[in-house]
């Protein structure tokens, strides 16, 4: 963590500029994009923090492309992020959970593509539980003169140039990576600035917390059932039994996993054969960030970041967190993969 006794306060903008200056020839456009996301996050945080005294709680009355009920704050967050990215003129397209297709912005010559989950954990909005925003940034592949193509939108997670999340909880914080480690900033509401909390955060190699919706236990494959039973069996040598923690907001669950270690799981099931979480704007960005912190993210077998996408709203199972925890669940999945599923 940053030692406040020996280091001066560093804002998000200062940090981004300092990082940019380490690379000769950097144009500053990615830095501007990250600052734009930070600005939108401040506006969203303000509305989240006063949601109970404004007319922004509750459902909008519509459903999104996934058939999910849309909350008023979902639409507010979506609008703020897209508007902020559009003003910068360096982003050519946005893909958001709240929109059916690609959102083309005013500047078709922009070099960046941004995937967004504007407000992750929407079901928690009305009960004042932590929620968040997730972002994933890619470089366009096509020449500006050629126009945008499907290949621009469907790049594997390994092609991300930056990714991160904003968590609206007891405090508002922003974590991001550009492939050079993970930096975390906390919003100081008294000055309206994100302040550096940690500039090289590392996830523990192993952890004692597992995070999964156990209400879906009967729909899981046998390997995952066996792993969860393993987590629950007492064994002092491996610090078991592990503790179960599940918030229901991926950003909040993954952030806790990043800080304390352990594993977050959202598997495929009989109800969701391809998994429920979206690859491009939930799993890819958080996998990139967790890997940069020393962790691991798989779809049950292979690396999440190596999945070749075929649709912008593609779903995937995910097992993400401390390296040793993820390797252990993969052992169980492999061992029982060809055995019959039991209730």
Query: What is the C-alpha separation between 132 and 86, in angstroms, rounded?
Result: 21
Contact between 270 and 219 under an 8 Å Cβ cutoff? The reply is yes
Query: Is 235 exposed, middle or buried (CB count within 10 Å of its CB: 0-12, 13-18, 19+)?
Result: exposed
What residues are designated binding site for substrate? 120-123, 213, 246, 276
Cβ atoms of 288 and 318 within 8 Å: the answer is no
H-assigned helices in the chain: 12-20, 29-49, 72-88, 150-153, 222-232, 250-260, 284-292, 323-335
Tell me the CB-side half-sphere exposure of residue 173, using CA atoms within 13 A.
19
Secondary structure letter of residue 243 according to DSSP: E
Binding annotation: 97, 117, 119-123, 213, 246, 276, 282
Task: Determine how β-strand 91-96 pairs with β-strand 112-120.
Answer: parallel
Three-state SS at 261: coil
Return d(Cα 207, Cα 229) in angstroms, integer: 16
The string of DSSP letters for 291-337 reads HHTT-EEESSSSBGGG---SSTT-B--EEEE-HHHHHHHHHHHHHTT
For the annotated binding site for Mg(2+), the residues are: 97, 117, 119-120, 282
């Amino acid at each position: 963590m940053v030692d406040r006794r020996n280091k001066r306060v560093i804002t998000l903008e200062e940090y981004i500029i300092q990082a940019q200056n380490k690379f000769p020839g950097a144009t500053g456009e990615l830095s501007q994009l990250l600052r734009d996301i930070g600005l939108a996050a401040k506006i969203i945080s303000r509305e989240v923090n006063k949601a109970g005294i404004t007319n922004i709680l509750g459902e909008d009355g519509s459903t999104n492309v996934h058939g999910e009920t849309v909350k008023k704050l979902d639409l507010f967050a979506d609008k703020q992020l897209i508007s902020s990215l559009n003003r910068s003129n360096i982003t050519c397209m946005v893909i958001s959970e709240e929109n059916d297709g690609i959102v083309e912005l005013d500047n078709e010559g922009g070099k960046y593509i941004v995937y967004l989950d504007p407000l992750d954990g929407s079901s928690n909005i009305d009960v004042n539980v932590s929620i968040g925003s997730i972002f994933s940034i890619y470089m366009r592949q096509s020449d500006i003169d050629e126009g945008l193509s499907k290949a621009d939108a469907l790049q594997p997670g390994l092609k991300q140039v930056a990714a991160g999340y904003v968590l609206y909880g007891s405090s508002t914080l922003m974590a991001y990576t550009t492939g050079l480690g993970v930096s975390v900033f906390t919003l100081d509401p008294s000055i309206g600035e994100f302040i550096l909390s940690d500039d090289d955060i590392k996830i523990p190699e192993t952890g004692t917390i597992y995070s999964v919706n156990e209400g879906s236990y009967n729909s899981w494959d046998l390997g995952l059932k066996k792993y969860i039973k393993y987590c629950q069996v007492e064994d002092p040598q491996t610090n078991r039994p592990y503790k179960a923690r599940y918030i229901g907001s991926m950003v909040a669950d993954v952030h806790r996993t990043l800080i304390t270690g352990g594993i977050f799981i959202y598997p495929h099931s009989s109800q969701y054969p391809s998994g429920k979480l979206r690859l491009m704007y939930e799993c890819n960005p958080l996998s990139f960030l967790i890997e940069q912190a020393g962790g691991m993210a798989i779809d049950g077998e292979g690396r999440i970041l190596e999945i070749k996408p075929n649709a912008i709203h593609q779903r995937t199972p995910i097992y993400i967190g401390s390296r040793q925890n993820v390797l252990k669940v993969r052992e169980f999945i492999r061992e029982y993969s060809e055995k019959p599923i039991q209730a």
